[in-house]
Chains A and B, each alone.
Chain A
């Protein structure tokens, strides 16, 4: 199985690699004339936005390209051996044996019907000659080595019993099973919470150093790059635009695209002025409580999850309040309670002097137009069968607006969010993720709300698009004097757009205050833990890049 190691050759040597996309794709090549090497003991970060070909490159190395996609030219050497010309059985031995891969979505990357121990065992079964008992001992060792508790019991768990972080650890254990010398990590922390992300990054760095592996780490997040990379390769539209040592690329980026990407990175502390606490409150939540009961039947007690425990906060006119916390902390529950999608168990939500929770469905209806919501996933939140114009005008028409006037207004709104008025006649699928999120915002604004609830509005978007949408929201709030509740798990984004920050943990607001205070002088241990987990803290975006990149900065100071 093992090939003779030629220690002079780089671990991975990719030369002039070109990967063809099937006909009819938006460009002929997924990857074009790509050349790079991965050395023993280094972490190479491959950075780029979605569609840049970074994942395709990884899949080509693994021999996992979709059937319609083919390598048309170039050489791919692993330890001196030309991988592409190997017969299928040798390639299989290489996959999982000497080159291993972990994926972005730990929730779906494990077989849901198989115990995690068995999934790791499979690798050993096909790549080693160990007997059953030896494999079992090895599985336990592996699980322990990635920091999982009680590995002997955990081995027998099904994936759905584990948290996202634990699953990603299982994936890493599985990848390490036969001590590969190359680990390809395809956005392994993107789907995880910050604190979990930090732990996984540390784990990968640790294991890499201990085993002297070469790691190809694919990411779109420059914070992560700053945290982990030895070298950085930047890809744009299938081409390598810049490659070099991490310090070089991060601090003295040469290519305009790299500079643009770095400029779009949300950066933590901005010198935002303290927001006037004397303004009129638009919405006040008082001691809102919500407990969910999950599972259980007539005789069996289910699990209870406290999603809201005495939540109180005030949103003033023109203020943006950030609700930050990790998944499951209850931040969306509060947002949905305000819009009336969830009925809290107790507490009051006062909107302009009226307790929204005390209202019946019909009495609540007039208030719906004043509180609007922008959802996380722009792909799922727009009805694919309706034109953009219909989507935007439905609300106003339901509130008695004349159809023609509503459509006129929709066109104005589209212009306001930076789209062409002709977009009204088209369908959502004709737009990119960022454009769709603009449509979502236009839809929410169509009812002229006083309060906008934005539930993770940019977390499904690429960094540069993310920056644009954030700029748009910032711009709109000043122009329309909009109050906003901004829900996010990313503290960097919250720091950029919010005046006031409320930190949530396990259903409680543990800290609330002006953004500057919360980020500059965090009081609660959990806030400090969250801030500490932000990737790339040690790195600050070079001044010259900042100045060239963000047009949003100017907008913000002028407002």
Chain B
């Protein structure tokens, strides 16, 4: 078996144990919070007598000892059954699958755009360090980084939706417009623009600063001087020699942020009223909807583990000095 296959299979085996351990930890974490779904439901129903609450608890199995609940939960997780949400009256798995596309289309798009834009802008700034274009990029980046993300979202809505009327302000599609085919696709795209830009700006600022700093460090290294002495054109020196060496720290941070693709968009989903995982998580916390929360936690941890593995792989591809070691 090639080295890389050994590496991936060994890491995947480890990942299973990591995810299971996280599941146990999550379980206790959720139960450590005060209150339980029965109490919340009873409170909402306005009939908060102890008997009713006790009855709900019995119904949900919340009266069993904690270790027994854990056993039941883990037994189901192993069978890929994430449980049933009594609040929403639907299996948790279906709920997640419903919400996932919305979140992923938002976070993945903004992540990729931010990465490309950030590296490009950072490179430009570093190569022109000290000039006005560097200053401009740095100032814009710093502003985007320092400004609260929901505020940027609100301002963009104000400008592009309210004043200019170019783009829709919230939701994933125009309700009741009855678009089909291409028109529906374009409609969905238009709904994505503002949230993606809002979320992407923040990430882009991070990558811009990181790339700029990293390039400034690499560009004075000896091998860059060698490349110049070889009489190579400037663009080749920058792209082949400088950027490739400078990109490693960016990959580290990108891999780290990619792990947050699921849970990192609560604010954006709230501002733009997008029915994504972030909103689901937020509601689940308020309602003490244990099953849904645990499902989201598990999904997030799986994504983090997968992206860690991917980052390590990309690292070893970019830098031959790093060998994949399980």
Contact = CB atoms under 8 A, between A and B. Distances in A.
B233 interface: yes
A111 B245 contact: yes
B244 A113 contact: yes
A111 B136 CA distance: 31
Nearest to B241: A111
B326 interface: yes
Query: What is the interface of chain B mostly: helix, strand, loop, or mixed?
Result: helix
Contacts of A297: 325-326
Residue from B225, B228, B230, B319 with most neighbouring chain A CB atoms (10 Å): B230
A428 B185 CA distance: 66
A158 B229 CA distance: 20
A96 B226 CA distance: 9
Nearest to B222: A108
Contacts of A97: 231
A122 B221 CA distance: 18
Contact of B232 (A62, A100, A101, A122): A122
A519 to B, nearest CB: 36
A160 B231 contact: no
Interface in B211-232: 221-223, 225-232
A95 B226 contact: no
A160 B231 CA distance: 24
B251 to A, nearest CB: 13
Contacts, number: 77
Interface residues of A, number: 29
Interface in A123-162: 123, 126-127, 158, 160
B51 interface: no
A112 B222 contact: no
A171 interface: yes
B63 to A, nearest CB: 45
Given A109-B222, A110-B223, A113-B320, A126 B231 contact: yes
A172 B228 CA distance: 15
Residue from B232, B241, B318 with most neighbouring chain A CB atoms (10 Å): B232
Contacts of A300: 325
A100 B229 contact: yes
A30 interface: no
A111 B226 contact: yes
Nearest to A58: B229
Given A112-B223, A112-B245, A113-B244, A126 B230 contact: yes
Given A112-B321, A113-B244, A105 B222 contact: yes
Contact of B319 (A92, A96, A113, A171): A113
Given A64-B225, A108-B222, A114-B240, A123 B326 contact: no
A301 to B, nearest CB: 13
B229 A64 contact: yes
Interface residues of B, number: 23
Contact of A92 (B233, B244, B321, B325): B233
Given A158-B321, A297-B326, A111 B231 contact: no
A114 B232 CA distance: 15
A351 interface: no
A126 B228 contact: no
B229 A111 contact: no
A113 B245 contact: yes
A222 B82 CA distance: 77
A171 B321 contact: no
A93 interface: yes
Contacts of B236: 122, 126
Interface of B: 221-223, 225-233, 236, 240-241, 244-245, 318-321, 325-326
16 contacts: A94-B231, A95-B229, A96-B232, A97-B231, A100-B229, A103-B222, A109-B222, A111-B240, A111-B245, A113-B244, A114-B240, A122-B240, A127-B231, A171-B226, A174-B226, A297-B325
The 9 closest A-B pairs by CB, nearest first: A96-B231, A95-B231, A96-B230, A108-B222, A101-B229, A111-B223, A92-B231, A158-B320, A109-B222
